[in-house]
Amino acid sequence: MNIHPLFPTEDPPVPQKNEKGPDFGAFWAQYPRKVAKRDAMRAWTKLRSADRLAAMQALPAHNAFWQKKFGADRSFIPHPATWLNGGRWEDELDPIVEKSKQGASVQAFAEPEWWESWSGIVQRGAELGLMLEENETPPHFKWRVYKAAGPGKWWDVARGGGSVAGLHAVGSARRGAA
């Protein structure tokens, strides 16, 4: 049973003068996704010697990129024949956005704003001296918190805050007005 590391780290062999370049076995040993070997071998044999060498030289950088971006999930790594036929060793590798040392990160990982969750609204209400009253509906309490907080992003319908008119209607209905 041959066990190959997920992302090989050894440098590819460099051909000596008058050699035809790295052989397919060297490529196959380095490439992390072991599927469709015959297709990959056909693609390899179609390459010029210079392209074979370029592919082998680019492979460690691509392996590092794939490992960092996809971890152990090989399903997003192109099949070796696809990578070879497309000349993908020439692809520019996108930088991977990482969390900075100061804690700033991509927006997708940011904590939600207080108005984007019920617990945040309750906490903000407490900061403003408001408590959910007995028999008070959540929309009315939300309206009271928004009103006490004053103008801001929480009034924007797209952020889930509801419109000012809609919130005033909730407050009016609570007080018994039409």
**pLDDT score of 7:** 57
What pLDDT digit, counting tens, does each position of 63-114 carry?
888 888 888 888 888 999 999 999 998 988 877 655 444 544 444 444 568 8
**Among the listed residues 34, 33, 35, the one whose alpha carbon sits nearest the alpha carbon of residue 67:** 33
Question: Distances from the Cα of 48 to the Cαs of 16, 82, 84, 85, 112, in angstroms?
Answer: 16, 16, 11, 12, 53
Rounded distance between C-alpha atoms, residue 118 and residue 166, angstroms: 18
State pLDDT tens for residues 143-152: 898 888 888 8
Spatial CA neighbour of 108 closest among 98, 94, 122, 118: 98
Q: Are 29 and 39 in contact (CB under 8 A)?
A: no
138-149 vs 118-127: helix crossing angle, rounded to 10: 50
Task: Return the residue matching tokens 């997003």.
Answer: 76
Torsion on CA atoms 116, 119, 123, 129, rounded to nearest 10: 100
Lowest mean pLDDT among 46-50, 84-88, 96-100, 153-157: 96-100
Position 97, amino acid? V
Compute the average pLDDT of residues 113-134: 86
pLDDT greater than 60 at residue 158: no
Residue among 91, 92, 88, 83 at smallest CA distance from 43: 83
Q: What is the pLDDT of residue 155?
A: 72
Task: Label residue 19 by pLDDT band (50, 70, 90).
Answer: very low
What is the model's pTM?
Answer: 0.46
